[in-house]
Amino acid sequence: MDKGLLERVTEVFKPQLPLWACELTSHHLIVAGVNPRRTQITDKWAIDLPPGTEIASARSNVREALKQAGFKGSEIVVVVPDETARIAFLTSERLSKTKVDQETFIRWKLKKTVPFDVDTAQVAFRVLGPNRSGSGVDILVALSPRSVVEEYETLFDSLGVHAGIVLPSTLAALNLFTAPADDVLFVKVAPDCITTTVFQNRRLQFYRRVTDLPVYDAVYPTIMYYQDKLGGQSLERLVVCGYDSDLRESLELIRIKLGLTAERMEPKSVDDIYKPALGAVHMKLENTL
């Protein structure tokens, strides 16, 4: 991919990305920063959050994490749980040339299928190109309730930090992933959900989020969709973000039953817990230590 997924998805909002990112999950609070060239990690820090911690009550935790990580500046990318956003694929028969008209079309198309106010929602999108049938143009959309985005913005505003971009964890992590020409399945395991993303010929073709399922049960339906709906013949790679000892049994089951051997997402020298934050600030992997 000649540009990171995040850059394409969020280019309608802001041309310059902050050098720091903070991810909030139900279990952890993670902060990571890079140098101005985005070639080295300046620092990173992660702390455990007490069970049931609400966003509004996480202020002291965020302040401490920023302090421990050595955060400098006034702007940050905020990486939020995948469940805070709806990821959708749309097809337009005749796509308008202007961003404003494209966004209007997206809001109109999703109005009856999204369970929150689409008119006020935060929308980011990427035009993928002609669809498989050649009858239109496919669009990847990330949509979040405005109230959810504002909750995170308010938290950081109270600390004197501007949340320049707010985006879902999987889209952030995918900025560290360069999809090859072969068909690839990307699996991200988070504390509360598992997301599966299919790439074909370097193009994102499918995204699915599930909760309360083992890894194998989350992966298998995506592979069936890949074969039945996307015309896939053979997945060449299975890339996993979230790999640890607790996943080994599940990934071994995938290897035995589906013939796919999992590989960790690059850079392998960095714990997976930091990768969404580093992807959010466009860390360049070639110089990662």
**Count of beta carbons in the 10 Å neighbourhood of residue 60:** 9
pLDDT of residue 10: 45
Domain span at residue 253? Answer: 179-265
208 and 101 within one domain = no
Q: Tell me, what CATH number does 101's domain have? A: 3.30.1490.300
102 and 130 within one domain = yes
* Structure token digits, residue 207: 């995204």
239 and 140 within one domain = no
213 and 100 within one domain = no
233 and 139 within one domain = no
- pLDDT by residue, tens only, the chain of 289 residues: 334 454 444 444 445 799 999 999 989 999 999 999 999 999 999 999 988 888 888 999 999 999 999 999 999 999 999 999 999 999 998 888 899 999 999 999 999 899 999 999 999 998 988 887 778 899 999 999 999 999 999 999 999 999 989 999 999 999 999 888 899 999 999 988 999 999 998 899 999 999 999 999 999 999 999 999 999 988 989 999 987 667 888 999 999 999 999 999 999 999 999 999 999 999 987 644 4
Distance (Å, rounded) from C-alpha 22 to C-alpha 41? Answer: 14
Q: Is residue 271 part of a domain?
A: no
pLDDT of residue 52: 84
34 and 163 within one domain = yes
Q: Is residue 288 part of a domain?
A: no
28 close to 53: Cβ distance less than 8 angstroms: no
pLDDT of residue 157: 96
Confidence (pTM): 0.88
Distance (Å, rounded) from C-alpha 245 to C-alpha 28? Answer: 18
Q: Is residue 203 part of a domain?
A: yes
47 and 154 within one domain = yes
Is residue 132 helix, strand or coil?
Answer: coil
pLDDT of residue 286: 63
Q: Tell me, what CATH number does 255's domain have? A: 3.30.420.40
Supply the DSSP string of 203-221, one letter for each residue: EEEEEEEE-S--HHHHHHH
Burial class of residue 1 (count of CB atoms within 10 Å of its CB; 0-12, 13-18, 19+): middle
262 close to 215: Cβ distance less than 8 angstroms: no
